[in-house]
Every structure is written in C-alpha cells, then in structure tokens.
Structure 1
Amino acid sequence: MSAQGCLAANDWICGEYLRSRSQELTDATVQHIWITAVSVAIGLIVAFPLALLARSRPAFAGPVLGLTTLLYTIPSLAMFSLLLPFFGLSAGLVITGLVLYSLTILVRNIMAGLESVPEEAREAARGLGYGPARLLWEVELPLALPALMAGLRIATVSTVALTTVGSIVGKGGLGNLITDALTSFFKAQVLAASVLCVLLAVVADLLLLGVQRLLTPWTRAGGGRASRRARLPRRTDRAARPGGGGPSPEDGRATADDPVKAVG
C-alpha cells in the first residue's frame, strides 16, 4: 500500500501522517512539555513550605495532608469547572489544576524524606553550631534527596498524563490531538500522540533519575563498595583452589562453627 494509501485506509501506523503533520506534532509536544514543566515547578515551590510547616508544627500535619489528598480526589472535569471563573479558558486553568493534583505526592515525599534523616546527623550538626536554616539546607535536604526526587519523578510522570485532560479547554498539548482524533476516529493521530505522550513520561523520568544520581553520588559509591565486598570472598575461594582443590565454602563454615574439628 502506498504512503497516501495508509491515510485513505485510516491505518494505525502511517508514515505519511508523520511527515505531513510533523509541525502539528511538534507544536503539541512543545506545549505539553511546557505545561508539564511549569506545573511541576510551581507544585514543588508550593509543596516545600507546606511540608516544612507540617513537619515543624505537628498540629498542621493532618490538615495539610488531608487537604492535599482531598484535592487529588476531585475529578479533573470538576476541578477545571471550579477554576474556570478565576482563569477562564487559558493555560493558567490547566496549570493550576495540575499544581493542585501534584501537591499530595510532593508534600508526602518531602515529609518522608525529612523524617528519614537520622537524628544523630541532626545532633552532630547542632553540636557544630548549625542553625535551623543551615541544618535544613546543608544536612537534612541532602539526606532527604532520594525520597524527594522519588516524589518528583512520580509527580512528573503523573502530570505528563494529566496534561492531556487539558484538551477539554484546548490546552492539553498532545491531548488536543488525541481528542480531535477520537472525534473522527483518526487512528494514526491517536497512536502517534499517545506514543509521544508515553515517550515524554519515560524521558522525563530518566532525566530526573540522572539528576538524582548526580546529586546523590554517595548512594552509588556505597553500593559499589558493598558490591566489591560481596565479590571478594568468591575471588579468594578461586585463588585458594586453582586446580579445583582446597577447602570448600562448606568446609570453611564447619571450621568456623566447630573449632575442635579444626584442631583435630
């Protein structure tokens, strides 16, 4: 079948669609990335002080977590309808809704990361004269980064998916193409936009994973040392038995367990 034929036949996979609509796909992808990035960035800026408030004032922890969880349970159509009088049919409407949805994930993971910091590390820093602000930025946040970055990755992937819902107001990035294609059952456009959305989520997650590894090099260093230590006994056993002889690991355990056998 010719390239033009796949469009006429409404095939799922159609190279001619990708060539003829490449600019449309590019524009939708750029809008999708922009809405996602702005939403996650604002969500992180809002979630951080909320998490600090909930941690420093235990009385606020319940209301903060309860409110963010409640916001997450509101259906997207209802959320956008509630925000419509304030933002109109604009990208701000979609971004605000996505920010509110991201709070429950970000707040909980920031709190979990800060709570996972060993109390010994805090006491040692206070003993060195660290004030609250310096303690937070130089001790607690670096140690909380793995949990914080895990929450950021989840929130980002979730936001990539939820951005498509913005198509109900014409600001959904790739979601606009999916909605338009579903109306006419344009298979190639549905598949192309859906695959691009999945690829965006995967790429965003991998990028944030790379950032996490750069910011937490000690996690890789510790794992590497543990791995080398785990491999060392096996190399020692092979060196002790070049021809297949020598004591086996079972013999070594028996000797360690029963010193009398070793003497005998």
Structure 2
Amino acid sequence: MIREVFQLYIDRWDFFLKLIMQHLKIAGLSILIASILGLILGVLISEYKKTSSIVLGITNFVYTIPSISLLGFLIPFSGIGNTTAIIALTIYALLPMVRNTYTGIENIDSSIIESAKGMGSTPFEILYKVKLPLATTVILSGLRNMVVMTIALAGIASFIGAGGLGIAIYRGITTNNTIMTIAGSLLIALLALIVDFIIGSIEKIIKRRWKLV
C-alpha cells in the first residue's frame, strides 16, 4: 500500500503540489491572524486581570465546539469556501495563543517587574523590554501547539468547498479510494511535523541564549 501511495504522488505530483500550496495558504493565514490577535488578547488580559476569566472562559467554550459544527454555523454568514475555513481555524487557534501569552507573562517573577519600575521604566517599556522577552519561550510553546493543530484541522476545510489537502481526503472517501485518502492524510501529517520541527528548533535556540545571558 505504501508503494501505491508513493506511486500516486509521482503520477499526480502537480495535483498534490497545488493542494499543498492551498493548504499552506489557508493554514498560514489562520495562524498569522490568530498569532496577532492571540498575542494582543493575552497581553491585554495580563494587564487588565479582571477580564482574564471572561476572555479565557469564552475561548475555552468555543474550543469545545466540534469543528464541523462551527463550520456549519459560519456558512450562513460567510458562505462556503476559504473565507469560512480561515475564520473557523482562526477561532480555534486563539485559545493556545491567548492562554500561553497570559500564562507566560503571569509567571514572571514580580521582583523583576518591580526592579524595572524602580529604574523608571514606563509600563510600555516594561511590557516589550521585560515581560514579552521573558515570556517568549512559553508563547512559542503555545504557538507550536497551535500551528500543528491548525495544519491538521485545515484538512476538514474541503467539506465546505475550501481548498487544501482535505480535497484529496474527501475525494478518497467519496470514491472509496483508500490510497487517495491515505496520500492526503500523510501529507498533512508531514507538513505538521516539518513546521513543528522548525518552531521547536527556534524555541531551543532561544532557550540556549537565555541560559547564556
């Protein structure tokens, strides 16, 4: 069966290459938007702690909604296709970014913050010169989990008319073509592993540098 899968890759390389690019586009946009929004929300709830329970509660609740259900809920508002898939994936990706940003900042030793205040640093300077750098490894850990999850979840986008490697899986299921289904699934897993390795390597480099400082 593995031989048949690789033969399919060779015979239909242009088809799979197109799907890979579509998959990366959908997942990449979702990851970018979620990273920015998640970082901002995480910083805001760490600065205004009264809002943390509300924001984290909402993101936790949304995270429990099955992906197919969320896609179905969004279709009447944004239609079928990539837009709905990106919105849904972004919503799911927010939780790990918000939670890890908040946790990373909250776990910073309060004496470090007090020292920075004593040296006359403004709240903004404390945020971008002290809090965010010290929380970087925790934030990257959340980003790593979020990226892998988003790439994997993007496989269901084809069920609402979006592109990506989910098309190969969908075609395989609807035509009872097991080889096509496996081929699409393996490529999604491979993409997730490659990106996870890259982010993990960056995380290790940052940790080494912190140890040397």
Confirm or deny that 1:59 pairs with 2:50: yes
Q: Hey, what does 1:207 align to over in structure 2?
A: 198
Q: Hey, what does 1:13 align to over in structure 2?
A: 3
Q: Hey, what does 1:225 align to over in structure 2?
A: none
Q: Hey, what does 1:42 align to over in structure 2?
A: 33
Task: Name stretches of at least 5 consecutive residues in structure 2 with no aligned partner.
Answer: none
Identity %: 30
TM-score for the superposition, normalised by structure 2: 0.93
Q: Hey, what does 1:248 align to over in structure 2?
A: none
Confirm or deny that 1:145 pairs with 2:131: no
Question: For residues 29 and 18 of structure 1, do their structure 2 counterparts lie closer, same or farther at Cα, with a shift above 3 Å needed?
Answer: same
Q: Structure 2 CA distance, aligned partners of 1:147 and 1:34?
A: 26
Task: Name stretches of at least 5 consecutive residues in structure 1 with no aligned partner.
Answer: 1-10, 223-264
Shift of 1:98: 0.5
Structure with the larger RCO, 1 or 2 (CA within 8 Å, 6+ apart):
2
Shift of 1:176: 1.0
Shift of 1:116: 1.4
Larger Rg: 1
Alpha-carbon contact 2:105-2:132 (below 8 Å) kept: yes
Shift of 1:77: 1.9
Q: Secondary structure at the match of 1:185?
A: coil
TM-score for the superposition, normalised by structure 1: 0.76
Structure 1 segments of 4 or more deviating over 6 A? none
CA RMSD of aligned residues (A): 1.6
How many equivalent residue pairs?
A: 212
Decide which moves more: 44-53 or 12-21.
12-21
Q: 1:27 aligns with which of 18, 41, 47?
A: 18
Q: Structure 2 CA distance, aligned partners of 1:204 and 1:157?
A: 7
Q: Secondary structure at the match of 2:167?
A: helix
Alpha-carbon contact 2:137-2:206 (below 8 Å) kept: no
Shift of 1:183: 1.4
Question: For residues 220 and 185 of structure 1, do their structure 2 counterparts lie closer, same or farther at Cα, with a shift above 3 Å needed?
Answer: farther
Confirm or deny that 1:96 pairs with 2:78: no
Q: Structure 1 CA distance, aligned partners of 2:103 and 2:65?
A: 24
Shift of 1:58: 2.3
Q: 2:72 aligns with which of 81, 103, 106?
A: 81
